Structure 1
């Protein structure tokens, strides 16, 4: 089935199902309220632009989700569950803890075979994105999140080194008073999850507040082991999240800490002729070579924000330590990493109309990398021994003003990212591959917003720089050390226009159209001599264009929804090979639709998620695609039972309610046609939350 026909046929089916559900829920809700009742859409204040502002007045495409207000507790299994129906964001859930979920915004990020690329992420003020642009989200606990914001489009002028946007993640803030909370989830595929949280929100009047949460997860997985029986794809993960805040001087001090312990197996991707296997078997060579990942990570950050003389000021510092052991086909990778950074910014208002800010950032990243041959999962012969150093320095300036009814915001940022590699593996026939590279760019952006009645019209233009990561530079097809001198950073410009508004007091909407022109977009590939290992090369030029539509609101008392439709046409103008010229860039779903409907009643709460994805190209030449799919998820919880200061809340969730068979993610340009990572069938989990307020 071709992509156009698939979209024409299946998208209306998804829309019709969601409309029927919303209509039925709304009709029932209206029986419980009078026709004169007004249901207000709660306003949203966004901070991702570094200057807190109302989302309705932003000249850039920004969206947010208040997870703390969810009627059913959020589990800690997958980040995709917390980010559902966030406009512009595509999450491909590999259901594979060894490589993580793939996040893509406007087509950026799909090149990643593990972790996240092209999208900057910040957790509780600490960058989850390293100075080289690599992002790992293993340490993010979905069960502890309270708020999410997404800036779509390049965040270079605001945060640096990213083409797709910025994802801002905030842990749940403690409510006033003391709270103790425990949640347990048991379910299919050997899912066992326990979260314990203690918090003290103080008296809510500037007194110290603190919280600490620990989530432990065990997961057997669903990919069968073709060599020994059972499953291959097990994972065990423990995440500790802590935060502390108090008033210091006239400002606020915030300290946050995160710890991660993860051990996971990687069952690998499959060729098309294996997708019909009901066992969804792991790839035999992955099992033989013990592919997977072991990570130990700790991070600590502190920030102070408040008035300083006649200005506002922000001072922040952070540090991250990470140990990684990563057996992949043919190679065992070991990396010891230390990252440190600091940011200082000041701002103010001039003449009562010009809101300005300026600052400087500095980060250092130190990696000690060892590569060994993979001897059935054990370390074989030493093949690479090198130290990699990255130093990022940035200066930024932002400003905003009103010209009559017209709101204008702009920013400019200068980034310099210096890479250095010291090759310690020098032998006869293997020369010293040490070297240095410095990549820099000046990235301006400007956006305008004009209210016209109840509609806000906005538009922006921005440039960006996206550097290759140390891992992408270090992976060289010929097997030598050092950094690949043939890989260049991706540079480009993007423009967007949009409108947002409300329909009455119950419906909010936004529509955005964008176009991005890129030079040297990075594309993954594999080689016959080292199948299963990913290398990278630059395309010549490429263009991303698309439309994003978001709807959110309420249909009556206790019935709410949010929906997002995203269409991205990303194509090579001049691809990495002649056969790819003019083809769709692989790894991105051209059209995706998601909606979440929430129903709150006196006896129960319910959430229904409907997701539809178009066919997805998986190779540069456009010869193969992952089939389109439609999935439904259901969560139902009883109204919390309260007695004194205690609360008991049970719930159940069914993933993939109609047992759809589909591809959750893909490995782009995989050797031997092993593009596809299957998703599990229907799953059932039950949960229980017990809380107490002394």
Structure 2
């Protein structure tokens, strides 16, 4: 489940206006897709091969080929180092991790910085959500891994930034999708080049799906509106968006149930009618100004300010037995919260000869009115389950962050560029308990941090269209406990768990990027050491507590390549090897209820939720008359379901086949048809796991063989 967007100075690519995120500054302008321009992680727009860090671009065409553009997981298999699993459950968000960061999240997204068209989709307490991402309106997705992610502030193990497509010409677009298991979607957008520097875009979509498991139906409505204006020195963008998604929750399955029938629904799901309703509205604005040559002696180049505000509400009915809620300290089986969130970011870009410098500050805030209710009414024969009953929790939670940052790039000579930056901030977390019959769980806690990063890029080869770049970088990262992790003390006394410490990472990365017209390869090796890793300590009476369990290590290799061996032919591949392990032993819980952990987790155990190996490959052939045919393959290694490694979801291999074609209909009209079959062999596999589930319902089945057809019609105005 997830949360409020937060603002970051690297990626405010609000409809191709500018890009910002919480650590560095970037400007965005039109560029040819083949140049693979990125703005995330850098001071100014640059090509992927010039960036001194591991970053991957998934462009608009790749998003459209991958599926109906409902879930980010459709296209992320081609990105090394990042895992985006579709749970097949719209009541829970996608499972996202980068180099092992975020893998421990049982639900929702954490440890990742998420940015949707310039508005952050992860909050100052480190949790986020991506269900409102408008993939159909994206120009590209930028995925940053490794040391330079720390410039995005607290809880930034990686960055996923959606950059909206610019309005270049006035046109209307309509799309219709149909797929297996009752998926239906209709999409529409209008882009208008209004003249005198103004442009606008309106878009909306409606999706319905029945799901391949009983009790997994969902609906989703998205709406976006954006207005832009620019002249020679200024660019202003204003945007608003809305999202509404009710969804049933089929829950995870135990090992026995999964082996018996992986596509069944847990009995508790229908017994309690488990489900979630989520709504969100938000608005944002940004203003970029280019200064003239005489501004402060020519030193001041550019200013940028961006702000946003929004509201999000979530109500979730869970499968918690009424007897369990008899504990007076239990918060109930219905989670209900209303969130107000806002943020502002301002920065200046300077030029000192060969040195480019950005300085800035950012503030983010979320306020949750959080309530809990019993998920039943009545007793005995008259008891009704799966409804909203008596109040059991009532509190106001607040998280704020205030940061200052700077980043510099120094062109030492045409072949060498040095980069460095630092982000320093404070995360403040507060709870005010208004339900006092079970004790006062109010609390206040703040964490301060300083994240430095340094990198060096060397252009080792430049001969015509051939180039080779090598880079090295190092950083220190920071991840504070979330509001949920701080909420309760292990000894059941009132107040925050003040003994809990933030985890700190030290990251190293070496990489290379080779380019020639028909061939490209990106490679990176990394080593990340984390101290005071966070993990679950106890789970009893509806309250989970957390502990610091010592050191962990994440090391690995990422490899991605593209080759065009002959006219019309293209092949791509991505490979990841990740060794993510605990370096210190500790104890964990065997299940629920658990007041004291008793299960040994020895040093060397794999961090739950991480995949040691994954690979993706594609072979495509395009012909003007026949369209494009492609065969895709994906392989994933086994995944530990808990820290004790008592069970694993088995590894699997999948194949997919797709075809697409475009036709010009004259009068500025074109029609595009795309079809694909996923899981060709109809393999049975666990597509994701619910990490550390106290009830042992770890396994979520991946989709069986799925057929999708999408039609897109574009008419120029």
Alpha-carbon distance in 1 for matches of 2:52, 2:514: 13
Q: Are 2:516 and 1:515 aligned?
A: no
Whether contact under 8 Å (1:118, 1:164) holds in the other structure is: yes
Equivalent position of 2:105 in the other structure? 112
Q: How does 1:136-175 map to 2 (within 5 A)?
A: 136-155=129-148, 157-175=150-168
- Matches of 1:79 and 1:249 in 2, distance apart? 35
1:489 Cα offset (Å)? 1.8
The worse-fitting range, judged by mean Cα deviation, of 307-316 and 415-424 is 307-316
Question: Are 1:317 and 2:307 counterparts?
Answer: yes
Cα distance between partner residues in 1 of 2:435 and 2:85 = 37
Deviation at 1:671, TM superposition (A): 2.8
Aligned to 1:23: none
Correspondent of 1:186 among 170, 178, 185 = 178
Q: 1:631 to 1:666 in 2, by over 3 A?
A: same
Alignment map for 1:269-284 (pairs within 5 Å): 269-278=252-261, 280-284=263-267
Give TM-score, length-normalised by structure 1.
0.88
Partner-residue secondary structure (3-state), 2:125 = coil
Structure 2 residues not aligned, in runs of 5+: 1-31, 321-332, 377-384, 462-466, 588-599
Q: TM-score, normalised by structure 2?
A: 0.85
1:550 aligns with 2:560: yes
1:424 and 2:426 matched: no
Residue 167 (structure 1) shift: 1.1
Specify whether residues 41 and 221 from structure 1 end up closer, same or farther in structure 2 by C-alpha distance, changes over 3 A only: closer
311, 334, 341: which is aligned to 2:336? 334
Match of 2:39 in 1: 47
Counterpart position of 2:409: 400
Aligned 1:209-228 pairs, distance under 5 A: 209-223=199-213
Output aligned runs, 1:135-534, within 5 Å: 135-155=128-148, 157-176=150-169, 178-202=170-194, 207-223=197-213, 231-247=214-230, 250-278=233-261, 280-308=263-291, 309=295, 310-330=300-320, 331-350=333-352, 352-375=353-376, 376-404=385-413, 405-427=415-437, 430-453=438-461, 454-474=467-487, 482-502=495-515, 504-524=516-536, 527=539, 530=542
SS at match of 2:269: helix
Q: CA distance change for structure 1 residues 610 and 353 in 2, over 3 Å: closer, same or farther? A: same
CA distance in 2, matches of 1:619, 1:563: 30
Question: What is the alpha-carbon distance in structure 1 between the residues aligned to residue 258 and residue 289 of structure 2?
Answer: 56
Structure 1, unpaired ranges of 5+: 1-39, 224-230
User: What SS class does the counterpart of residue 374 from structure 2 fall into?
Assistant: strand
Task: Please state how far the C-alpha of 1:628 moved relative to its aligned partner.
Answer: 0.6
RMSD: 2.2
CA distance in structure 2 between the aligned counterparts of 1:457 and 1:549, rounded to whole angstroms: 14
1:667 maps to 690
More displaced 10-residue stretch of structure 1: 633-642 or 354-363: 633-642
Match of 2:6 in 1: none
State the distance in 2 between where 1:279 and 1:626 align. 12
Q: Does the CA contact (< 8 Å) of 1:364 and 1:389 recur in 2?
A: yes
Which secondary structure state, in structure 1, belongs to the residue aligned with residue 74 of structure 2?
helix
Distance 1:525 1:615, change over 3 A: farther
Describe the shift of the 1:272–1:164 C-alpha distance in structure 2 as closer, same or farther (beyond 3 A). Answer: same
- CA change 1:353–1:186 in 2 (3 A) is same
Secondary structure of 1:285's counterpart equals helix
How many residue pairs match? The answer is: 639
Q: How many Å separate the matches in 1 of 2:540 and 2:446?
A: 32
Matches of 1:69 and 1:85, distance apart in 2? 9
Instruction: Quote the residue 1:17 is aligned against.
Output: none
Distance 1:221 1:478, change over 3 A: farther
C-alpha distance 93-170 of structure 1, shift in aligned 2 (>3 A) = same
Tell me the residue number matched to 1:3: none
